[in-house]
Structure 1
Amino acid sequence: MNYKERNSNFELLRIIAMLLIVFHHSIFHGVLAYSVTMWQGTPVSDQVWVTTFVGELIAMFGKVAVAVFVMISGYFLVNSSSNWKKSLRKIFSLVIQVYFYSMVIYLVGAHFGWINPKDLNTIRQAFLPFFYNTYWFATEYLLLYLVYPYLNALIHSISREQHRNLILIVSVFSTVVPTIFIHFTNYNSYGNLVMFVLYYIIGGYIRLYTIEDEKKKGLLLTIGSILLMAGVIFWHDYMGRITHNQQYYGNSFAYAEQNSLFVLLVALGTMMFFKHISLGHNKIINTIAATTFGVYLIHDNPIMEQVIWLKWLKMPALLTPNIGHLLIAVGIICPSIFIICSLIDFIRIKLFNLIAFIFNKAKKTM
């Protein structure tokens, strides 16, 4: 099912999720880029501990948005037929889009002197983006796309109760245990794929089955989980403040990471809620939603994240006791970046469609 055929409720959710990811990156790669809260070396001083906490509140929805993106894929793909031609076309489209932005940004960066074009690691990231962690989400999503037909076969071969139990079992080991024991293990790339599989089967469950009072329960679950996650982060930051133990700050944001139970619950509740929002077909929403992956590829490219957050905007300078300054700056900057990147990808889509049209026309005349 493509963007034009979909009800706009989940397309609106895509837009919100990507905007939250931009906000997340403004803090993670910007304001707190050098802070111990993001596992860097600079300790949190008493003067900015509240600003640090506010920054973490802004950033804590980033991984929720990632979970939502994958759950939406599970929601729409779970009933799709296993058509390898169609799958290969989608995989090819994903790969082309990633390579396009990776290489174009490399060439632009080299032209304007943002990078050393001869640096081996920079070249690897630009020309082999799926192998050198240029875009971790794109790599994990590609792997998920390769296995989703088999996940569908599993999902449709088991009962509702078995499907629910499978979600619970994977959730316990992938989110509950790491949330209780935050240094339990380092899941790395394979752990991300496990999380993506979990999100996918949850999205499939939401599509296949309806829960009583689902919209209301989803809203309560979302709000409750957000409050719990914010409360745990605040407790760690406050303990860091009164004990002057930087370890508390270092552990605080772990509860908003990919393996956090809070992240999973917020994403689950959000999906349950948006499932029952009826917007019909909105062309503007669907058009913007089609650019969200491009927004990610542009602003979170390793070159661009350095240029945008550190070189141009100097976001770490916002880490001051002036919380209002931080909120105003981030509130203006992040939507602006989203809009600019969305417009760029809109042009890219039109260009690619024109090239495809010319190619198909030439193919027919041969």
Structure 2
Amino acid sequence: MENANSVRDSNFELLRILSMVMIVVLHIGNHGLGGYIDIPVFLSGFTEVIYYFIRSLTIIAVSLYVLISGYFLSNSKFKITKLINLFLETSFFSIAIYLLNVVLGYVDLGIVALIKSMFSVFFGEYWFVTVYFVLYAISPFLNKLIDNINKKEHAYLLLLSFLISCIWQFVYVNEEIGVVGGYGLIYFMFLYFIGAYVRKYNFIIKNFNKNVYLLFYFLLAATNGLTTYISEINFGGIDRLIQYNSPLILAMSYCLFMYFKQLKIKSSKINFVSKYVFGIYLVHEQSTFRQVLWNEFGIVEDIISSNGMLFIVKMIGYSLIVFLFCWIVSFTITSIYNFLYRKLSKKSTFNKIKTAAP
């Protein structure tokens, strides 16, 4: 039986797991199905409505990750070793998966591709890691700002950031601003400030019961999904409705984040699974394996061979299978990386001691 006192809170760890499931669902739609079919043409009626509803439910995944980061990092000490480890681990994943694809014959060995894998953070192999890397690098300065402004000033900062990111840059996009539909550093900083505000002051404007937050999340997702469906039918789609910096998507992200914040969960199993979920992203979004995953295994072909709700069921089912498969790969690669890292760290420490000896 678990000793509850020895297990840290698992509410946000569970949210990390759920967020990664959401990301896989999004990618099976974008990178998988999107490469084979035109969703508005292929689907129709109730099935299309459900597809857009699921898309709306899951589009908040990246925002959730950054909110969690802001919540915790704003109250933690910056460690250069953590930044270096993020670079090294990401590179290790990218190189390992690339070389595995070479060995299996899916791609040819190329020097340029190998170098890009070695420096994947800097070359943008994983766009999220690249932006997050910079966000963590500047986090000490963001935290200094947060620590030296009062609640009212922090609220004004959030309001100004919201007006710039989710109103101005949602309605009319200027790439020079750096919001980039929610993919840019400016928007990540905004989410970081929100997470930090909740950490310091518990909520924004007014707090609600967790079930109210959950209800709001589903209602907003239904609204966004239905609006997206109507826009596809009448206007051929409005891409901004599913951008990360959409006001609706921000509101959904905040609601689900606040719901999980109020949960009281302690589970060593959840915490264990959560340790390796980020690697799922590094596995299935590695550029060479992404092509293999969605083009070689027959996943997409099987989904699009189905009609009606079976299409949706298979899409969700395969997302869970991909999640589980990539978690196992992530666990394996992370274990190898940690073993090598410890060995090299010990050797480095030994050499330093030996060099310093008289």
Q: TM-score range by the shorter chain?
A: 0.7 to 0.9
Q: Which whole-Å deviations, capped at 9, do the CAs of 1:180-202 have from their partners, x for residues lacking one?
A: x3x63444499611111011111
1:207 aligns with 2:199: yes
Question: Structure 1 vs Structure 2: percent identity of aligned residues?
Answer: 26
284-293 or 165-174: which moved more?
165-174
Structural mapping, 1:1-366, within 5 Å: 6-34=8-36, 44-45=40-41, 48-50=43-45, 51-81=47-77, 83=78, 87-118=79-110, 120=112, 122-123=113-114, 125-179=116-170, 181=171, 184-186=173-175, 187-188=179-180, 192-211=184-203, 212-213=207-208, 215-239=210-234, 248-251=235-238, 253-280=239-266, 282-315=267-300, 318-319=303-304, 322-359=307-344, 361-362=346-347, 363-364=349-350, 366=354
Residue 270 of structure 1 and its aligned partner are, at CA, apart by 1.0
Residue 349 of structure 1 and its aligned partner are, at CA, apart by 3.1
Residue 345 of structure 1 and its aligned partner are, at CA, apart by 1.9
Structure 2 CA distance for partners of 1:112 and 1:351, relative to 1, 3 Å: closer
Contact 2:89 2:337 in 1 (8 A): no
SS in 1 for 2:69: helix
Q: Which whole-Å deviations, capped at 9, do the CAs of 1:91-115 have from their partners, x for residues lacking one?
A: 1111111101111121112222222
154-163 or 216-225: which moved more?
216-225
Return 5+ residue gaps in structure 2 as ranges.
Answer: 1-5
Return 5+ residue gaps in structure 1 as ranges.
Answer: 38-43, 240-247
Equivalent-residue separation in structure 2 for 1:268 and 1:96 (angstroms): 31
Structure 2 CA distance for partners of 1:314 and 1:343, relative to 1, 3 Å: closer
Equivalent-residue separation in structure 1 for 2:288 and 2:346 (angstroms): 37
Q: TM-score, structure 1 length as denominator?
A: 0.84
Equivalent-residue separation in structure 1 for 2:38 and 2:15 (angstroms): 32
The residue that corresponds to 2:3 in the other structure is none
Equivalent-residue separation in structure 2 for 1:61 and 1:136 (angstroms): 22
Residue 291 of structure 1 and its aligned partner are, at CA, apart by 0.6
Q: Which whole-Å deviations, capped at 9, do the CAs of 1:251-304 have from their partners, x for residues lacking one?
A: 2x4312222112111111111111110013x11111111111100000111112
Alpha-carbon RMSD = 2.6
Equivalent-residue separation in structure 1 for 2:37 and 2:221 (angstroms): 23
Q: TM-score, structure 2 length as denominator?
A: 0.85
Equivalent-residue separation in structure 1 for 2:65 and 2:331 (angstroms): 19
